[in-house]
């Protein structure tokens, strides 16, 4: 449970970073980033696989590049339904989703290394 809360918080931090880098993405504060990260997680878990399956022929024709468009559309969709999280357009959504994926991956990888290092130190003491 603690790991899930850590990932959720790191994703919110990644979303705040993206909002500071991409001029077409706006977040009102950390609370809005937490809510947006939660909704992005749900959409990526529940809706994204269905959309990827439905757009599989186009994805194959574009050699996988259409996945960026699907991710951007979902990012833009979340920005259109949540208050406090605004994505100005599709291309801002594409750029935001790419940066969000990169930053959340990096933060989660760094956190995993720290947790692993901490766990290793604790087991060495015994």
Asked if 94 contacts 71 with a C-beta cutoff of 8 angstroms, the reply is yes
- Give helix then strand counts, H and E, for the chain: 6, 2
Q: How would residue 53 be classed by pLDDT, with cut points 50, 70 and 90?
A: very high
Read off the pTM: 0.85
What pLDDT, on the 0 to 100 scale, is given for residue 3? 82
Q: What are the residue boundaries of the structural domains of the chain, listed by start?
A: 35-125
Work out the mean pLDDT of the chain and round it to a whole number: 92
Q: How far apart are CA 75 and CA 90, in angstroms?
A: 8
| Helix or strand run (H / E) with residue 110 | helix 90-125
């Amino acid at each position: 449970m603690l790991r899930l809360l850590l990932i959720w918080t790191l994703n919110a931090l990644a979303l705040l970073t993206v909002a500071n880098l991409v001029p077409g993405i706006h977040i009102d504060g950390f609370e809005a980033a937490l809510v947006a990260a939660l909704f992005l997680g749900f959409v990526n878990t529940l809706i994204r696989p269905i959309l990827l399956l439905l757009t599989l022929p186009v994805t194959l024709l574009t050699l996988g590049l259409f996945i960026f468009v699907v991710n951007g559309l979902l990012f833009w969709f979340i920005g259109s339904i949540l208050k406090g999280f605004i994505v100005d357009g599709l291309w801002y959504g594409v750029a935001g989703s790419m940066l969000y994926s990169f930053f959340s991956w990096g933060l989660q990888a760094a956190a995993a290394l720290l947790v692993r290092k901490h766990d290793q130190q604790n087991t060495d003491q015994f």
